Structure 1
């Protein structure tokens, strides 16, 4: 459903034309002049911070009065009052360095316009031109004149021109789409008017020429060209562009021109290159460190004469800044590693350090290998990882390693790569590693850092107190930063008073001589200075076990439903008890504790907060993750389809977070992968079995779509332990059913059958229709693989009856798609096509876009079996564009192979060869050796017909070897038979 302009608090806002506000009681009149200009600027930049300087420049251009900033404050204050008096819900909040107008939902016409354009782009890519054209027309209809017309402000007008240009582009887009749909007669009049209004826009003139030509009026089409050429030459001294000249030539030649207003089909999109991950943590702007140490590390990492991989181990005690130093070094040398930087926190100081096999799984995914292709064993993963890294220049950063056994499997084999490790231990067993030790700051470095944070003048005023303060905190960077931040937040405090406070604390805490004791004293001092609510939040936030947390978590642990829960965290950020980073994709703030600070938070929490309060906070935290994951699944599938849910508490975060999930649910799931896995594990450990299994099976949407099979297995094994320990029969069955799907993805037939049949028995006892349907759907697939089509059809029929009982439309569409493979093999192609069309209608109606490419590909396969090869060619080409758009590399390989097959059937061997070779490259890129071997067998006869018999034989020999090595006897025999045919044909 496309966005429509709707009321929020009975108010709507319009800038696409004269500026208008409609409040609960009707139109709201805003005083012309500065108030209108400020309001227009804030609406143009809705939800973004607009600096006071920017407002001043907009109001006064280059000559602002001395009181400009004060006048801006007065103007904003009056604007707030004006809107509030009219009952308009439009918060204008103060955000350094200016103001932010907070606007949610589809309440601003320019936001609705942009949303419609984006949705139309998706429809175009899906081949739904008529819907896209209609949507674009509705977007253009939102305009009531030029953007911000009636406001003669030059700075605003320059901004408005960008939107006016978007209007013309959208108009041209829908006109070209309607040309594709054969509506040339209907649009001629409209395009003629637009060309008259915008005579220099060549794209509009091209649409007019093509519409006239296709309407049987070639003379008028050529006249439109000549008129445009005359204008361009007379006004600008330029000849028409290539598009217009080609159209003129085609019309003169009497060619039939179809499609858009430029002749010739678009070039196919290039195959994607290999992934270049950029995973380094952020660098520190005010970094201070040992330059000699950094240069030593750089020399090892980028040295040109080494024969093996360069390895540097950065060691140091807690709080010494090892991670900060490693991140800084990584950024300094990043340009020497153009193929990317991999990063992983090995959690060596945690109770369960990250296993090397898990790290390799993450790295292989980041390097572009789909989860279904990643091998299970550590040795096989090491082999694949080192093969991928052999010809790349990549930096690997391994943070917080506990032992050599964590690091050694993660070392690339090539001297083109380098590895940077941090650890509290001397990892002398890592081959060829250079150990560099991060010392605490000396007096000069400490004073330098202190001066950068609180100001060099302040340090200079109290040199003795500054030196005493540095000695007191022991030179530990973390402790020094906390104290400096405290002083920076309180400019009226003297450095001597801070020294006195630290001295007083030392009498009540452990010795402040070195190590963790220094940090605990500093943290205690800061903690005691916070208000009660912030201290409670500080402790409760430590319950969250994810690596980096979104702001809504603060609201969940406090059970605070305010619109901006991240504001609750700002006091903790101000005193550096909490670190803040920014997510590059969304600009959203994320928060995290340093490990020692989190331990301190939990220590304080256990002493100050009751176990019952802590348990309720964890339940709300898990409920927040569950509610958002559920929203993501709904956005992907169009509702609660093809998934089981339980009765655990849901805690819904503010609407801004829900909107972020709905905007791109798979991207949100991917960004929260580590947090979701941590939440599932925490739910199991805390005894929340219902939340645990529900969150695990809901997160399987992410695990399956992105190939995170290791996370799928680990989270589900954890959930299985929790449900079995709690005697939760339905939860156990739900997890087993999802594990069955996982085993199918891995080709583990026996394990899949065992898990699914066990789950099926429980669902039969519970008479749970959705659970029964999910199990029978997957058991039907196993029956197909076993060659028992009759049993599969029985299971599919039962599954659809169960789905109808559960009112699960999308689940029904999925089963319809599955069973058409059997119908097609039995020659029932008309029936198969009808079922696939029904499935597509279901998917489109529900909004489950991921199912459409699968069903369309099946239609292409049905068309091949029915001998409709040209139709199949069109279908496969369309689906190829869809899977490339979604970066589905496995689907791309399938479609390229399908296109090779259908071109070969059509006798178009050169085209078949090109597609098979692209398919082969796609399979080799993700190291799917078996899939690549199958394509080699397909490619060989095409090469033989083109006269390259030697290469054909080589390809099949390679495939025979791959199939033999993996014990795939049936495939090996078929490949040997193909080789015999090739040899006999020479």
Structure 2
């Protein structure tokens, strides 16, 4: 075959000899029809080796014809490249790449969906500093190399610099990398953007626009139509870009982090224990940048062990300094985002380090900064946008562990000690004040907040109050610890007192023993001895109901009983005996529990404590159930229901007594095998018990329904109630006997 002076002419001749149209050659080779047409007409450069190989395969070339075409194209490319160095090559990929399987799959699927005439797919890869966005993009580009045969280009937009690259400069770099002559590149930025779109429309190229600062920087660089792909990486989500796929990269999963460490330091990792590898991965926050730095440090210090590095990183004050090697460091990566924040957002970022819990919401951030909740929310979203905070659910936020350490360092370095102290006290005071108001929703004699309440969170319903207490539990509990350590004894007692009735609804929360241990210790330092008795009793309740330390609970309650006797306070004696009765009943000592409840009921009646009187009636009924005296238990529980209606019982304990009495009346009816009556009673009280929220009584209600339906032959209905009973017992931390009853009844259905 005679050599031709034009590659385009040669390509056209070969295509015609193969009997192919441009469209058929495009389909066979994967090279766009527009690109083939431009080659044949001499409007584009000689193709890259991958493109040439795809065309040669589609044309069926082999032997000398293929070799001559390859050699001719190589010489033409060399000639055209003299004096014009190419730019835009992808950065060096890393050998040790782990994880990101779902994200890679999503990007590949989206990236191969483009067509010559449709819009070019665009993917925005975003995430916090150090999460590996560039590494991910380069690795994905490598996997897609065969798809984008006309080239893969990269440009660092320097989005974290003080002066990011402007779009005009980025356009020039991309056009030159695409072999557009510098003399042909337009001076006007808009015209330059049009040139880039025109070139990319004809080519199957992948563009990596790395480290983008903003939507305005990226928009002019995006192609219009074409079968290419654009991958944008940014610390921001770039929410203003329309019609793009966003892939957020979180830190690696623990198993992936361990895998990356082992890949980075193979020989050392082989000698390390799994616990040491997992410890280093955890202390690195599973952040790829931190993991790579840790691996590099180990590789450069062969005398170190994984356990040695874990010990060094375990010191929180030194961890950020330890995660630095050469010109790489975790702290500088965070500092680049911090530097981009306006002053108020910087102040919020560092002051959020005061938050003791794992997560928080806008009102707490507003307290720390002295702003309104709406302004605080805007600043929190700015921190999320830059990857310095992680959103949690609808309206809460949290730090990555290493970013929290960075915020703490910024707080120490940038704010004087007296300012830090004042901010911390303001946060603690607000948390405890709000906790008291929320907890009192459930206290007899309180309910809704006072008319002059001007809190930052809405507490106008009991549901909202309970929700706040639950989601902010870690934070207000930490504030309570701080108040106890600071000697604010009355404040500690006031918070615990406000939680008394609320804690009955939330017995499965694991910290009531600590709350009431703090309050009883605080009350012992105050002059009012009756407060001390009350909070010793609360502590006894928590030890039994929440901690299952029944002997400790009974001992505390009897201490309170003796102290109340010394003061002549029969009301507190009644309370103490009631808590002792609970401890003995939970331990299975029903006879002693029955004595305690009966004596406590007599004392409560003589003291005129109607709330306690009906509660002791419930205790008597439950102790009788434990003794197997079900007829007597049913009669006692029905007496409780009558007494509740005739005595001036406060609303909250009245509701509790009514629900619990009816729940265990259904239980007693089931034990007596009065199945229809058990179903009728349980069905009637089910809505009220569900609204009451205590999980264990609700579990007993479903247990009674399940047993009754099973006895009456309604197997599937019985199964549903028994499964639900087991779930409620497990979630509510019920004692094993209750859970076993549900399991046994469920197993009996399959016999």
Question: What TM-score do the two structures reach when normalised by structure 1?
Answer: 0.38
* Higher RCO structure, 1 or 2 (CA under 8 Å, sep 6+): 2
